[in-house]
Amino acid sequence: MGEKILMKGNEALAEGAIRAGCRFFSGYPITPQNEVPEYMSWRLPDEGGTFIQAESEVAAINMIYGAASTGMRCMTSSSSPGISLKQEGISYCAGADLPFFYANVVRGGPGLGNIAASQGDYHQSVRGGGHGDYRVLVLAPNSVDEMANFPKKCYELAFRYRMPSMILADGILGQMMEPVEFKFEPVDPKSFKEAGWELGLAAGRRKRIVRSYDLREGELEKINAARLKKYREIEEKEVLFEAKQCDDAELVVVAYGTSSRIAAAAVKMARDKGLKVGLFRPITLWPFPKKQLAKLAEKSRKFLVVEMSMGQFVDDVRLAVCGRIEVDLYARPAGIPSGEETFAAVEKSYKSMTPARAAAPAKTAKPKGKPGRPRKKPAKKAGRPAKKTRKGGRR
Amino acid sequence: MYQGIRMSGFGGQGVISAGILLAQAGLLEGKNVSWFPAYGAEMRGGTANCSVVVADDEVSSPIVSRPDTAVVLNEPSLAKFEPMLKPGGLLIVNSSLVNTKPKRTDIRVALVPCNAIAQELGTIKIANMVALGALAGLTGAVSIEAIAKALPKVFKRAKPEILELNVKALKKGAEAKAE
């Protein structure tokens, strides 16, 4: 702790996982995340852990199912096409309530795509990804330092709620080098207490079963209902985000991961030109900071979503604000915007804010009123528009 | 201060290592730094390059698309990076290998015979250090002392006399002038 060291994102991720207590890794190579298994292959044995280069992604994730069933901290990682292959296994882990940690160092897609950075796996990550009704905890780092420190958070959440957790990174975060400071002491796996569901030596105790199915009538619904309750609790308690210069912002740029740091540069340029622009960055993508965005929508005039995909992340932003505020989109599917390009998008979005919207006090007052009487209020407050409607009615 | 740097040359000339060294030196001086390699479909004999940012502010994108400074150690790199430079930017050219003269008039150019200087010092392998020295001297992004301190951190297994030779190359490079 304390000293800053220069590390590659993928290596920081691997080291962060080991320091957080990971002692089993299985994976299969794919660019741009190859440094993760490479690092694990020499570093894990040093710590008495096990590294396996599996024969395929499918094998790797099923080894994780086995390792996670014993309650140990295990990990797999891959990049987009490889993560797709792992989805069935991830769904099984979610179905069996198994905690484990994985990372997707996203590359361009669909298909084989390319090996550059992209944010095209957003939907896959935050909607579960495999078959069936489930979620995984998704953390989105935007620096190598966070790549190093988030695995610990991921393990803590995964074990607290008995479910898979993941880091959604991209080729830039995986390949770049930046100063890193591990902000925690290495965790000793021997210090973990048994929770009571883990498989292992069964002599002298009642049997335990880890499985992702229940064929008895009505039982699966009960299990899923309990899981839903757990998800609701997570949405209530575990949201992480960062808001910069949002207090007086008329336009709020919303971005996560790599695009959030590029957006930060654009926001700085905008502030230098006197434009009131802020930055909102979700750190957990599931649970999504819905409430925080909805609150922000009450005091700002417009949102601009910046994402390195066609418009996936923007869906969640729009759902969160529920039509209360205009949400623009600057989408770069499998492209990496520069700060200047992003600033151009910010300026365009800012200048196209209609003065009428800003002047309408009804907009900001609306959420304060009780629901159920929306018709009366605008009529009372905004005299002019009401008259116009009447005139229109006469015609 | 925000220096976006692109370093480029043949695979084997040491541009990737020089970039890491530059970032490490910046870190030792308490700056914000990033290093990002080109990791496309690279091939033997092809051109390798990396982006380095050394800044007082936060580093936004680690991919430098409009460099303040470009270091080109071979001919193909000149064609690729000269047009990308910001107006007023600095172009450091390894004149031992690059015969073409830069065309732009809105940039500063330093023609440094990196290979020849390196050869004079004893080995052509340190041509990248000559170029890095020139970059440090001309931009002030990092000091030669910081790079010297960073050397054993990056090249952990290098012998002391080799490190010393690298420092000599850095100092020789730092004498370069730009027009």
Mean pLDDT of chain B: 95
Query: Which residue, chain included where needed, has tokens 């949405």?
Result: A235
Residues 6+ apart with CB under 8 A from A268: B57
Distance from B118 to chain A by nearest Cα, in Å?
28
Ramachandran area for residue A50 (φ above 0: left; ψ -120 to 50: alpha; else beta): beta
- pLDDT given for residue B46 in this prediction: 86
Q: Look at A261 and B36 and tell me if their CB atoms are within 8 Å.
A: no
pLDDT at position B45 is: 78
Q: Which residues of A touch B60 (CB under 8 A)?
A: 261-262, 264-265, 339
Residue-by-residue DSSP string for A33-63: STHHHHHHHHHHHHTT-EEEE-SSHHHHHHH
For residue B39, the model assigns a pLDDT of 83
Residue of B24, B32, B36 for testing the chain A interface, max A β-carbons within 10 Å: B36
Q: What is the pLDDT of residue A355?
A: 66
Count the Cβ atoms, other than its own, within 10 Å of residue A380. Answer: 9
- Nearest neighbour of A4 by CB, restricted to B27, B36, B37: B27
| A241-365 placed in CATH 3.40.50.920 | yes
DSSP per-residue letters across A342-374: HHHHHHHHHHT--HHHHH-HHHHHGGGSPTT-T
Task: Provide the pLDDT for residue B44.
Answer: 75
DSSP state of A195: -
Q: Would you say residue B79 has pLDDT above 80?
A: yes
List the beta strands (DSSP E) in chain A.
Answer: 5-8, 24-27, 50-53, 74-78, 101-106, 137-139, 165-170, 177-180, 241-244, 251-254, 277-282, 284-286, 302-307, 326-331
Cα(A124)–Cα(A242) distance, integer angstroms: 23
CB nearest to B61's CB, from A177, A262, A268: A262
Could you tell me which CATH class the domain A5-186+218-237 is placed in?
alpha beta
Q: Which residues of B touch A265 (CB under 8 A)?
A: 58, 60-61
Closest Cα to residue A165, out of A183, A199, A140? A140
- Identify whether the C-beta of residue B14 lies closer than 8 Å to the C-beta of residue B50: no
Whether complex ipTM tops 0.85? yes
Contact residues, chain B, for A178 at CB < 8 Å: 33-35, 59, 62
Residue-range domain boundaries for chain A: 5-186+218-237, 241-365
Residues in chain B closer than 8 A to A175 (CB atoms): 36-37, 39
Whether chain B has a CB inside 8 Å of the CB on A344: the answer is no
Question: What is the C-alpha separation between B160 and B138, in angstroms, rounded?
Answer: 27
CB pairs under 8 A between A and B: 59
Please indicate whether, in this complex, the C-beta atoms of B58 and A172 are within 8 angstroms of each other. no
In this complex, is the C-beta atom of A32 within 8 Å of any C-beta atom belonging to chain B?
yes
Q: Does A181 touch chain B (CB under 8 A)?
A: no
Measure CA A62 to chain center: 24
Chain A positions touching B34 (Cβ under 8 A) are 176-178
Strand stretches in chain B, DSSP E: 2-10, 32-37, 47-55, 69-72, 90-94, 108-112
Find all residues with CB under 8 Å of A359, minimum gap 6, and list them: none
Q: How far apart are the first and last CA of chain B?
A: 22
Distance CA A9, CA A1 (A): 18
Tell how far CA A298 is from the center of its chain: 24
Enumerate residue ranges in chain A where pLDDT < 50.
356-369, 372-395
Helix, strand, coil shares of chain A as percentages rounded to 5? 45, 15, 35
What is the predicted pLDDT for the residue at A1?
55
Helix (H, G, I), strand (E, B) or coil at A234: helix
Cβ(A266)–Cβ(A349) under 8 Å? no
Under CATH, domain B2-173 is a member of which superfamily? Answer: Pyruvate-ferredoxin oxidoreductase, PFOR, domain III (3.40.920.10)
